[in-house]
């Protein structure tokens, strides 16, 4: 059974993305695995919150290469279209989970799932139904 962590953030922020990435990296080091960053559409990484969190050049490189190494952690970028259920030992960082992504996450065989929603109320009921550990943060 996978462990699920839901970041209950009061608003969309770069801080929430960074906290989710740091938490997922910590979990991946424990599992000796990668972090799969699961977004609805790949283009969402280039601009907006991801650009503010990572910086323009890093966000662009992450989108172009679909991979980013930070410290000892490898982050791989996938979308709703490219996600597969083969991440058995990996940590999935799901950002802005859509309804179609929910089913894939429920069926995934990953060890750990970290969810960062777009809005506080988004997916909270779903996360609670999945027995997620709710991680409260206040965005600046």
Polymer length in residues for the chain:
140
- Assign 55 a pLDDT band (cuts: 50, 70, 90): very high
Domain hosting residue 115, numbered range = 3-137
Tokens for 121, please give them.
Answer: 């109320």
Two structure tokens written together for 39: 């977004």
How much is the pLDDT for 28?
95
Encoded tokens for 91? 């940590």
The pLDDT value given to residue 139? 53
- The CATH number of the domain holding residue 80 is 3.40.50
Share of the chain above pLDDT 90, in %: 47
The answer, yes or no, to whether residue 123 has pLDDT greater than 90, is no
Q: Order of strands across the sheet with 91-95?
A: 67-70, 73-79, 35-39, 91-95, 112-116, 3-9, 133-137
Specify the number of domains making up the chain.
Answer: 1
**What pLDDT, on a 0 to 100 scale, did the predictor assign at position 23?**
95
For residues 103-116, give the mean pLDDT: 90
């Amino acid at each position: 059974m996978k462990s699920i962590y839901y970041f209950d953030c009061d608003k969309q922020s770069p801080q929430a993305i960074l906290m989710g990435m740091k938490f997922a990296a910590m979990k991946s080091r424990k599992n000796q695995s990668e972090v799969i960053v699961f977004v609805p559409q790949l283009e969402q990484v280039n601009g907006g919150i991801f650009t503010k969190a990572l910086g323009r050049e890093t966000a662009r490189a992450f989108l172009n290469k679909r991979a980013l190494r930070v410290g000892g952690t490898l982050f791989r970028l996938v979308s709703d279209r490219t996600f597969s259920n083969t991440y058995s030992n990996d940590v999935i960082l799901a950002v802005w989970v859509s309804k179609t992504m929910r089913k894939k996450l429920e069926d995934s065989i990953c060890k750990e799932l970290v969810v960062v929603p777009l809005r506080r109320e988004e997916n909270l009921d779903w996360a609670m139904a999945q027995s997620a550990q709710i991680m409260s943060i206040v965005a600046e």
